[in-house]
Amino acid sequence: LGYWPSYGHLSAGERAAYLAWLTGGRRNPSVPIGYVFLFLYGLERRVLLDILDGNGPKSELPAIRGEMADLLDVYGPASTAFREDGQRFVELIDIVLAQSADRPLPPPPIRPDRYEVPTTLKIELGQRAARGIPIPADLALAWAWYLPENSPRTAATRCAAEFARLWAIRFDADYPGGMTLRPGKARVELTYFAANAGLRTLAGCELDIPDVFIQKVPGRKLVALFEGVTNDLDAYSRWLGRNPDGAGSLASFATLPPELATGPSPALDQLAAWASGRLGKNFAVKIPGTEILGLWHTEPTDRMAKTDAVALAQLLGNLGFGMEPDVRFGGAAIAPGTEAVLFASQPDAPHAATPAYSAAATLVHLAAAVGIADGGVSTPEISHLGEHLKSSLGLSPAEMARLYAHFLWLSATDINLSGLRKRLGTMSQEQRTRIGEVMISVAAADGVISPAEVTMLGKIFRLLGLDPSRVTSHLHATLTGGPPRAATRPVTVRPGGAPDPGAGIPPRPTREGSPPSDAAPRPFTLDRAAIDKKLAETAEVGVLLANLFAEEDVARPPQPRPHNPSSLGSQTGQDTLSSRPSQSQLDSRPAPLPSIAGLDPAHSLFLRAVSKRSAWTRAEFEDLAAEHHLMPDGAIDHLNEAAYDLAGEPVVDGDDDLTVNPYALEALLA
């Protein structure tokens, strides 16, 4: 059949086929689309010439609409022309029904072809504005979708259900109760072009309904909200693009924004129930690596991939749990034969190590190592170490909780001292001395040194091959500010400008050697600038120690000690740092130093160096990594994990020739 078929021009055979289709239920998708158009023409005639002119009952309209909706489902996907004409006809029926029953119009469907704004959308928006009824989230989403200044990206269509859920959450947060609009002077125009060429066209019929769809201010707000939802779903959309059958899996939830990352999902509910059941009332419990792998993988595997380890850590964090080791903090991936520590995490836990936490974890790792070398670290020593790190480095409650769990994991694993000593032996005397100096500066940061700390530092010096008898003199020099180290750059004696006003002469003592009676002793306060300076100095040493321990973790996963019980939450001695951190131990502290995209200082500096060029040869990249004291492949993994978190794409890609992804780089440096 040709375009605009007419029953009068059909042959006898075509008329027989058409009548057979009518009596057969009208749902055969293999018939020529012209027969379906013939039926549409008849329905249009019944509505436009009979019902709207008062020659037919409006009670027929719901049945006609239902029939058209079914025909669109069957024939619309294969025929663009029928889909467009049929949708306009259904829209006209909806308008007539809404006007007759004085009821709201349903939000129009989100269609790929956005060039034609549904009149039902304009009418419903205008009627709500005229009556002072707020706009709900679903109607606002349809408005934003059809705005010409909006440019929907793949995330809005590939994951439409998640998009609508996140839109509703964000919209309701911004507009509790809905968005209220003010009616303007413009009016909605109703235009209907009939598919039946023999019927009249309704063109330019102005309705007494304000046209608020064209208002710029609310439109800009909705487009901005639309863009924000799209950006936050980009990572999930890209993941679905690579894993089209993975919707609803645990891995998919790890890429969702926080509002959607907690379900509803049977897989996620199962993970939450498992974590709650294993943890119970303990602060932390030891979990076999095979059990964790069984939760994530349906088939046995040698080691959890780093991307999967990051996804698991993110999911557990969304549910209020943490795990050590955590690859985001430089830990090894879970593998059979290893063990991990599941613990209750604190709210707003960071997703990567801060400089302060890196320094604390380094000292704790060294403490665990010297404990093995010296026959054990006592509970008072570790408890005091934790309190000291909290006060001297300004760790947050979430970082303190992770630090305790980290030591519990270290105390339950076998640190290879022979390998550690061998790698320490490859370091120069200057490097080992710098490590010792940083440990001294951390210990002295709060101005108070206890005998337990002196003992601990002596053990660390012995492991580093340094003279432990020099600990006391180093501590004294650090606390008193001398002797100074040789300067490596020009020293500022006094800034230029106005002369120093000097200091006033103190009042005469009441008796020799004592202050006036009304003078209270000055309390000791932390010098935040000094602490920040020490943290910056620690970055270089942290690189050496991170490589020192990372080689051990990657080359040979820590083997569990068989004598340790499964629950670490109530242990004492070497198996525990503290049975459970007290509230005072988790007090809030000053914010740590900022880093790029949550990376540690070493990788933050390395990222800035990588960003200076768009491409690197493998040899050039390895040289650059060596300059920053980093392993090339490990550095790529660190940078790409951070990039996947923010942009859903790697920032460094390739094998022999490495390219820098500008989109991911922009997201990291933003």
Summarised one tens digit per residue, pLDDT across range 152-171 is 999 999 999 999 999 999 99
Shared domain for 336 and 269, answered yes or no, is yes
- How remote is the C-alpha of 631 from its chain's centroid? 26
Give this prediction's pTM: 0.59
Q: Which residue has the higher pLDDT, 556 or 602?
A: 602
| Continuous segment of H or E residues that includes residue 432 | helix 429-443
Shared domain for 116 and 226, answered yes or no, is yes
> Is it the case that residue 125 has pLDDT exceeding 90?
yes
Shared domain for 89 and 197, answered yes or no, is no
Shared domain for 126 and 258, answered yes or no, is no
Task: Flag whether 499 is in a domain.
Answer: no
Confidence of residue 136 (pLDDT cuts 50, 70, 90): very high
Res 387: pLDDT: 74
> Is it the case that residue 520 has pLDDT exceeding 50?
no
- Contact indicator for 452, 377 with CB cutoff of 8 Å: no
Shared domain for 322 and 262, answered yes or no, is yes
Q: What is the 3-state secondary structure (H, E, C) of 457-483?
A: HHHHHHHHCCCHHHHHHHHHHHHHCCC
Query: What secondary structure letter does DSSP report for 638?
Result: H
Res 546: pLDDT: 53
- 482-485-486-490 Cα dihedral, nearest 10 degrees: -80
Res 556: pLDDT: 39
- Contact indicator for 228, 257 with CB cutoff of 8 Å: no
Amino acid at 244: P
Res 545: pLDDT: 59
Task: Flag whether 382 is in a domain.
Answer: yes
> Is it the case that residue 524 has pLDDT exceeding 50?
no
**How far, in Å, CA of 73 to CA of 61, rounded?**
18
CATH number at residue 622: 1.10.10
Q: Give the least confident one: 294-298, 301-305, 382-386.
A: 382-386
Mean predicted lDDT score pLDDT of the chain: 79
Task: Flag whether 518 is in a domain.
Answer: no
Q: Which residue has the higher pLDDT, 206 or 182?
A: 182
* Cα dihedral 274, 278, 281, 284 sign: negative
Res 323: pLDDT: 94
Q: Which two tokens stand for residue 145?
A: 């979708």
- Contact indicator for 424, 464 with CB cutoff of 8 Å: yes
Query: In the listed set 103, 129, 147, which residue is the last one of a domain according to the structure?
Result: 103
Q: Which residue has the higher pLDDT, 261 or 595?
A: 261
Task: Flag whether 515 is in a domain.
Answer: no
Shared domain for 91 and 121, answered yes or no, is no
Shared domain for 576 and 606, answered yes or no, is no
Q: How far is CA 124 from CA 129, 151, 188, 225, in A?
A: 9, 23, 10, 21
Number of domains in the chain: 5
> Is it the case that residue 55 has pLDDT exceeding 70?
yes
Shared domain for 178 and 300, answered yes or no, is no
Confidence of residue 15 (pLDDT cuts 50, 70, 90): very high
Shared domain for 178 and 309, answered yes or no, is no
Task: Flag whether 494 is in a domain.
Answer: no
Res 503: pLDDT: 56
Task: Flag whether 17 is in a domain.
Answer: yes
- Contact indicator for 114, 146 with CB cutoff of 8 Å: yes
What percent helix, strand, coil does the chain show, rounded to 5?
55, 5, 40
Q: Which two tokens stand for residue 522?
A: 């000055």
Q: How far is CA 267 from CA 472, 502, 573, in A?
A: 56, 69, 38
Confidence of residue 535 (pLDDT cuts 50, 70, 90): low
Task: Flag whether 516 is in a domain.
Answer: no
Task: Flag whether 334 is in a domain.
Answer: yes
Confidence of residue 544 (pLDDT cuts 50, 70, 90): low
Amino acid at 339: E
Give me the mean pLDDT over the 352-369 stretch: 78
Shared domain for 339 and 360, answered yes or no, is no
Shared domain for 578 and 662, answered yes or no, is no
Confidence of residue 501 (pLDDT cuts 50, 70, 90): low
Shared domain for 31 and 137, answered yes or no, is no
> Is it the case that residue 218 has pLDDT exceeding 60?
yes
Domain that holds residue 1: 1-103
Confidence of residue 491 (pLDDT cuts 50, 70, 90): low
Q: Give the least confident one: 346-355, 393-402, 583-592.
A: 583-592
> Is it the case that residue 383 has pLDDT exceeding 50?
yes
What is the per-residue burial (b if ≥16 Cβ within 10 Å, else e) of 630-645? bbbebbbbbbbbbbbb
Amino acid at 383: S
Query: In the listed set 190, 223, 247, which residue is the last one of a domain according to the structure?
Result: 247
Query: In the listed set 564, 586, 608, which residue is the last one of a domain according to the structure?
Result: 586
